[in-house]
Structure 1
Amino acid sequence: MTQSYPSVFEQVFEVLLEFEGYMSDDKHDAGGLTKYGISQRAYPSLDIANLTIDDAKRIYYTDYFLKAKCDQLPTELACHVFDTAVNMGVSRAIRFMQRAIKTTADGIFGKGSRAALQQALSNRGETNIALDYLSYRSVFYSRIVQRNQTQQKYLRGWLRRTYRLQQFILSDRQK
């Protein structure tokens, strides 16, 4: 049986696969063996080598999209928060959003965060919040490299991914 997903998830999943749609086992990547962006480190009991695209999609939807509360966010933010949750973890993805909406960054999207989000949307608009979000993400990548120079080889790809998602939000999705 094929599962049905919200259109925002389907759209961002396609963009995500541009960056996660292959198998790798890079010794400098903390995730270890990875396929479709699903890592052995995060899922030690999963047979990563035989993971199907449908299995990966279910994992992404349940463990990242829903856990990061993307189903409760406006489209642009849902896209950024989802992709960041995949790349950096659910809690960090929510903390970036909380920082972008100028509320306590505790990594939990609860009642206070929902109220702060509504206020920020009214005052600044979704696109401005999303652009602030991307700034926090980009700075975080730079700090990773500052702390560990072996990660320098990933910086260009991380930033490309971030700006590809920005392009998706600002132009591709609007076509």
Structure 2
Amino acid sequence: MSDHLRQYQHVFESAFRLLLEFEGGFVDDPDDSGGKTKYGISQNAYPNLDIAALTKAQAKEIYQRDYFEACKAHLMPEKMAVLVFDTAVNMGVRSAIKLLQQAIKTDVDGIIGPNTLRALKQANRVQGDNLFIEYQSLRAKQYAEIIARRPSNGKYAKGWFRRQFKLQQYLSQQVSFAEEAL
């Protein structure tokens, strides 16, 4: 684990605790395109994993490696890291990154590279909390587009928006994730 990842471990830990409030135990909803899920880990995304037997520790490891690190959240401002990570879990890593790129008004390719990181740093400096609000607005729009494409997903709308508002409330109350970890 790199030094930067180690320094951001407290951010991931906070994000993971919050995530578990949204992503519960075992679910097998026929309308869910992910198939069987546990702690939000889906059978479709991990076809060789015994989802029913998945432990919280295994889920945490998957989330850190395949979502938090994959979207390079450890290189983002703390609040944005949590927001992008949660979006990656809920909508996919590429979608989360594309929303970020739209919010910071840079090339939208779904890849976090040096240009995106530079643009994020600049946008964060100039826009501050407005960047966070812009990302949340784009995320809400994405939910609406998902429902428009697949109306059966409308039954998830209340939960998706509840998740978004709870996440916004949580992050607006965070002064520092390091202080929370104490």
TM-score (norm 1): 0.93
Structure 1 residue identity aligned to 2:89: V
Structure 1 runs of 4+ aligned residues shifted over 2 Å read: none
Once the 2 structures are TM-superposed, how far is the Cα of residue 133 of structure 1 from its aligned partner?
0.5
| Structure 2 residue runs without a partner (length 5+) | 1-5
Summarize the alignment of residues 25-174 of structure 1 with structure 2, pairs less than 5 Å apart. 25-125=28-128, 127-171=129-173, 173-174=174-175
Q: Distance in 2 between matches of 1:118 and 1:75?
A: 12
Does residue 24 (structure 1) correspond to residue 27 (structure 2)? The answer is yes
Please give the secondary structure, in 1, of the residue aligned with 2:35: coil
Structure 1 residue identity aligned to 2:38: K
Report the identity percentage: 49
Once the 2 structures are TM-superposed, how far is the Cα of residue 128 of structure 1 from its aligned partner?
1.4
How many corresponding residue pairs?
Answer: 170
Once the 2 structures are TM-superposed, how far is the Cα of residue 163 of structure 1 from its aligned partner?
1.1
| Structure 1 residue runs without a partner (length 5+) | none
Once the 2 structures are TM-superposed, how far is the Cα of residue 149 of structure 1 from its aligned partner?
1.6
TM-score (norm 2): 0.90
Query: After the TM superposition, which of the residue ranges 144-153 and 21-30 deviates more from structure 2?
Result: 144-153
Structure 2 residue identity aligned to 1:44: P
Q: CA RMSD in A?
A: 1.3
**Greater relative contact order (Cα < 8 A, sep 6+):** 2
